Structure 1
Amino acid sequence: MNLFHISSSLSILNSNTITNRGEYSKKKKKKMTTLRRGTRQMWNLMENGKIIRDSSSRSMSTEPRTTRIQEGKNGEKIFKSPFNNMNYPTMPLHEFVWENTGKWGDKVALKCGVTGRRYTYAGARDASNWVARSLLNMGFKAGDVIALVLPNLPETAIAFLGSVEAGLIVTTVNPHYTVDEIRRQLINSGAKGVITNAEIAPVVLNATRETLPSKSPFIVIDDATLPVPSESIPFKDLIDRGKSLPPVPNHPWNFDDVVVLPYSSGTTGLSKGVMLSHKNLIANIQQVKASTDDNVWKETTETHQEIAPLLLPTFHIYGMNAVMLPNLKLGVQLITLPKFTPQWFIDVFEQNKVTCFFLVPPLLLFLATAPMVAKKHIESIHVMTSGAAPLAGTDVERFYHRFDIDETKLQFIQGYGLTESSPVTFLQTLKSKKYASIGNPICDTEARLIDLSTQEDIVTPGKTGELWVRGDHVMKGYYNNEEATKNTLTPDGWLKTGDIAYFDEELDFYITDRLKELIKVKGFQVPPAELEALLRTHPDIEEAAVIGIPDERSGELPRAFVLLKKDKTLKEKDVQDFVKGKVSEYKELKGGVIFVHTIPKNPSGKILRRVLKEQYAK
């Protein structure tokens, strides 16, 4: 369940090799007596089966806002969110997102960061309604699946919400997919039509041949500079025609109806459709808002509007339901970028006073290292939120140090989640300086930590296990894949994340790696993310990826792929010696070091270790 194809953990972090101010460290020199003492403290503070910690002050307390361990019906140890439970508005997703549009109708909702074309909130709301009318007029029926094969454009949000208003199920497709990959998702999802853009229309059209029903709508957001297939229907025609069509009729619906069908696990196997309902998405948006300070993301007023780049791909759950939809709900101005280029990226910050930024680790490293980035580009930002891929605490400190930033004025939040959980399940608090931590379960979220060997609950600080989560934001299941659903969801609703985690003495959680990516050396588990974070601390190394290669005696050995900084040179032994002594002997790079020109990643920054294994592991 790999969120960035499309469902791995929002954050696979290293915390074993990095120590920050006040941060819990799992270094081997720390004696186990400390952990045993922490365990005694926790159980001594149990009250009717509850372990209580004050999440606001990060000290053991009986204050109302607490993370607790409670005993379940069958004796399981459940980590309870420190935030109060809440009720969710029972309404369709599009109505929820557009609910307050009347308050800020004249403010910009969506602006293209390349061309400058824009829609106000009133204009975007009307356009999405007209799109809904036109889709129904074309023959779509409530419950049909429509595929959106789109980069981030202002019209992407309009197409998405218009499709939802028409009662359709939206399956979002990676626009970087090959013809065969697009075709497979169209077939698997049962899509009855496609919306794409002019740049990739020929590829997408090829994928639809002999795939979609005959005369299925092929809708293209056209660009005056690019030709479009003659079979295509211009997206602007949907908007123009919709103005004169009858209103969207009230159709039967249920809060638990599936509304989106993103695909998951592309990096660990064939992708599966993740069935997410109106309730799942709305619940998660509300859960995140209830689990953060009111000053993190402010609702638009007559005198204030947040401005945020929308660079994270919206075909992916992070860009979709952690950035695009919740920010439209708050009246934020979203500046879309169809892809990352350094100049386009800088132009957005040059031309707009960006106030909040949602990113992945490669973007943070770009900000921290690229010569073209200046302090003026980030001075207006008050909060940055990261997820998706390995991020060590030193990566954040490197960014702060470069620009001499006051941490109270630009605050950093780490999050964790999966496509299967809509996506967010854990968040840091603003006051946290544990940059490598994912924090606590968000509102209405429960968690368990399961020992990999015994399958029993873990209640010992520092001990790793598989993280399980449960809540209203957890998916209904995998589309047409009962076996995969049973392997991932327990009968009582627990989602097995496949991520390895531990918690510290203050009940803050850390993700160390993916269960399926662990390297097994003579039976010992080696998390690749731990070694990758260590390698990134070398002054001459820009990026690194680690995989396990087969070995007759040890089972597997760690092999590193290293991207050096410009004009820097290292030898294999230099890298191996750098790691040696900093980790246990079985974690040393005995599988060798290969210097590369690029580290393969998916669009959201997750290292594609499968690709490395296919290319180099011989």
Structure 2
Amino acid sequence: MLKNPKYVYGDEDLCLPAHLNFGSFMLNNLWMNKDKVTLINGSTHETLTCGEIAQEAMNLAISLKNIGFKRGEVVAICSENRREFWGTVIGIVCAGGVVTTINPGYSKDELIHVLNISKPKYIFCSPNTYNMCENTLKSMNIVSKIILYGDVSNKENNLSYSNLAKTNGKDVGMIDFEEFEVVEVNGQTDTVFILYSSGTTGLPKGVMLTHLNVLVSCCLEPTMQSDKINLTITPWYHTMGLIGTLRGLSKAVKVVFLPKFEIESYLNTIERYKINLLVVVPPVLVALCKYQSNHDVSSVNVIYSGAAPLHGDTIKDVHKRFPKLESVLQGYGMTEVTLAVARDVQSKAHLAKPGGVGFIVKNAVIKVVDINTREPLGPNQPGEICAKGVIIMKGYVGKSKEDDFDEEGFFKTGDIGYYDENKYFFIVDRLKELIKYKAYQVPPMELEAVLLQHPAVRDAGVVGLPDASAGEVPLAFVVLQPNANATEKELQQFVADRLSNPKQLRGGVRFVEEIPKNPSGKILRKRLREMIKTTKSKL
């Protein structure tokens, strides 16, 4: 068979362990660097070495077996970012289990929805999340044991992570690495993670990732660099935080993490630890650029941004904010492709292009197809991005693959994008989020990027407002900077001066206090559309 000239093919040279067991891969790599500090809590300044994570993982794996855990069973983790998280993840995997990570901010109905998808037998909780979710968890017959982080003296009938991971549950001391053996798995087909799609257009779906999926992602060129001090604030229950940090831990990079984003704390952390590389989502960069302070951020020389494209003007502002910045790198992906299917990398930083998301990753194939005819498109022709390869998920829990994969086995991402003559990729918008104005398709992200250039605008989200004659017209929700002023007409004119006629804010501007987003920073447009019925401009 001949390669299709309109498809983009990634390189195929990638070194993977023959056992294809992600638990063994992580444990071996951590133990090989056991004396290195790999995680630092930027709030408490607590440190964690690779060896400490590996030791807790081994102890926990044995303890799980002792309490009746069996290979293939699902274990949930519902917690904010804290030290016990990684010993839990790797311990479950070493025991042959399936890990599902749950957003601690889920409502009762959302929590019930995802638990019914993955059906975990065990669940690890932080004290905060347990206090919020206790009644819901106890009302479900799925979960048989709850294991708590921190002090559990007042929590009857629950197990303690500390007891399980520090002494293997029987006070017999620490498990010896040389005597420990991970549970055997079929890495090509066995599920290692059940994660949840972002749910920006509906309820989350359970994404099944195999050991092979995650191994391949971890063996690609890393985002976080071993010769730099890296800072991340992405929640670990989300794909970007989970897979991204696992990639870093597998290479013993030094990662400073913060449980949540607060701009003063973030800047103080950069200053204190002389951070070199930031892993962020676009809203964080916009906030940093518009926040006036005298913090010393001259140590930052690389920024890696994901979840949504950065506009070229925003990148210019970022360079002004960080005077020693060398590269702003971006990537494109989703849970279903095990984090990223196209990305900039440090070794090719000089090839990064404003507004772009990089080159295809190794062992992947991408085609861009016409959204109506499904015919493959060539360079500089926007269409739906479809991908296949060893990083593509096994499938959704309880769902046939027919709706999400085409006849050639390509996963239909639902994103509109294109590649240029150098096979460098650009993302336009989500297929379902394009605004249909008369015969034109208007990408909301383009209007948002322009609005963010206005000095009074702190954040913005754009959706289509139903219109009898045009179908839809663009409507903007805007968050103003503190003590800043701007009128609806002023912002409409600001956009009109910079974009073509179909992209005018004919639906108006509504001023709000916050733009709803998911943990990775993606705008929840479904919520914005709901707000159309209830929200009126304050000005």
TM-score, normalising length: structure 2:
0.92
Code of the aligned partner of 1:183: I
* Residue of structure 2 in register with 1:206 after alignment: 135
1:604 to 495, 520, 524: 520
Instruction: String of CA shifts for 1:214-271, please: whole Å, max 9, x gaps.
Output: 7x221111259xx853333221111233162887665441112100000114111121
- Once residues 330 and 250 of structure 1 are traced to their aligned partners in structure 2, the CA distance between those partners, rounded to angstroms, is 20
Cα distance change of structure 1 residues 197 and 276 upon mapping to structure 2, 3 Å threshold: same
* Residue of structure 1 in register with 2:335 after alignment: 419
Instruction: String of CA shifts for 1:383-425, please: whole Å, max 9, x gaps.
Output: 22110124212112102113433x5xx3221111110010111
- Once residues 92 and 437 of structure 1 are traced to their aligned partners in structure 2, the CA distance between those partners, rounded to angstroms, is 34
In structure 2, the residue corresponding to 1:438 is in which secondary structure?
A: strand
- Once residues 100 and 373 of structure 1 are traced to their aligned partners in structure 2, the CA distance between those partners, rounded to angstroms, is 40
- Once residues 586 and 350 of structure 1 are traced to their aligned partners in structure 2, the CA distance between those partners, rounded to angstroms, is 45
Instruction: String of CA shifts for 1:132-189, please: whole Å, max 9, x gaps.
Output: 1111212111100011111111211111111111111001101111122112211221
* Residue of structure 2 in register with 1:24 after alignment: none
1:592 to 497, 508, 525: 508
Code of the aligned partner of 2:314: D
- Alpha-carbon distance, 1:499 to partner: 0.5
- Once residues 125 and 333 of structure 2 are traced to their aligned partners in structure 1, the CA distance between those partners, rounded to angstroms, is 28
Within the alignment, does 1:191 sit opposite 2:191 as a pair? no
Alignment: residue pair count: 523
* Residue of structure 1 in register with 2:149 after alignment: 221
Is the Cα contact below 8 Å between 1:318 and 1:423 reproduced in 2?
A: yes
* Residue of structure 2 in register with 1:475 after alignment: 393
* Residue of structure 2 in register with 1:158 after alignment: 87
Higher relative contact order (CA 8 A, sep 6+): 1
Cα distance change of structure 1 residues 608 and 564 upon mapping to structure 2, 3 Å threshold: same
In structure 2, the residue corresponding to 1:510 is in which secondary structure?
A: strand
Instruction: String of CA shifts for 1:434-492, please: whole Å, max 9, x gaps.
Output: 12111211111211010112211111x4321001111110001001111xx32112343
What aligned pairs does 1:69-218 form with structure 2 within 5 A after superposition? 72=3, 77-81=6-10, 83-90=11-18, 91-213=20-142, 216-218=144-146
Code of the aligned partner of 1:137: N
In structure 2, the residue corresponding to 1:543 is in which secondary structure?
A: strand
Within the alignment, does 1:332 sit opposite 2:253 as a pair? yes
- Once residues 338 and 271 of structure 2 are traced to their aligned partners in structure 1, the CA distance between those partners, rounded to angstroms, is 33
- Alpha-carbon distance, 1:617 to partner: 4.2
Identity of aligned residues (%): 34
- Once residues 248 and 147 of structure 1 are traced to their aligned partners in structure 2, the CA distance between those partners, rounded to angstroms, is 24
In the alignment, structure 1 segments of 5+ residues that lack a partner are: 1-69, 299-304
In structure 2, the residue corresponding to 1:160 is in which secondary structure?
A: helix
1:465 to 347, 365, 383: 383
- Once residues 364 and 604 of structure 1 are traced to their aligned partners in structure 2, the CA distance between those partners, rounded to angstroms, is 13
In structure 2, the residue corresponding to 1:199 is in which secondary structure?
A: helix
Is the Cα contact below 8 Å between 1:519 and 1:557 reproduced in 2?
A: yes
Instruction: String of CA shifts for 1:537-565, please: whole Å, max 9, x gaps.
Output: 22222221100011111111110111222
Code of the aligned partner of 1:122: G
Moved more, 473-482 or 395-404: 395-404
* Residue of structure 2 in register with 1:556 after alignment: 472
Within the alignment, does 1:452 sit opposite 2:384 as a pair? no
Is the Cα contact below 8 Å between 1:436 and 1:510 reproduced in 2?
A: yes
Within the alignment, does 1:319 sit opposite 2:217 as a pair? no
In the alignment, structure 2 segments of 5+ residues that lack a partner are: 535-539
Is the Cα contact below 8 Å between 1:450 and 1:457 reproduced in 2?
A: yes
- Once residues 223 and 336 of structure 1 are traced to their aligned partners in structure 2, the CA distance between those partners, rounded to angstroms, is 22
- Once residues 76 and 481 of structure 1 are traced to their aligned partners in structure 2, the CA distance between those partners, rounded to angstroms, is 32
- Alpha-carbon distance, 1:369 to partner: 2.5
- Alpha-carbon distance, 1:99 to partner: 2.3
Cα distance change of structure 1 residues 606 and 223 upon mapping to structure 2, 3 Å threshold: farther
Code of the aligned partner of 2:212: K
Cα distance change of structure 1 residues 341 and 540 upon mapping to structure 2, 3 Å threshold: closer
TM-score, normalising length: structure 1:
0.80
Code of the aligned partner of 1:236: S
Instruction: String of CA shifts for 1:488-539, please: whole Å, max 9, x gaps.
Output: 1234321111110022333321101000101111131110001111111222
Question: CA RMSD, aligned part only?
Answer: 2.2
* Residue of structure 2 in register with 1:578 after alignment: 494
Within the alignment, does 1:512 sit opposite 2:428 as a pair? yes
Is the Cα contact below 8 Å between 1:390 and 1:533 reproduced in 2?
A: no
Is the Cα contact below 8 Å between 1:346 and 1:373 reproduced in 2?
A: no
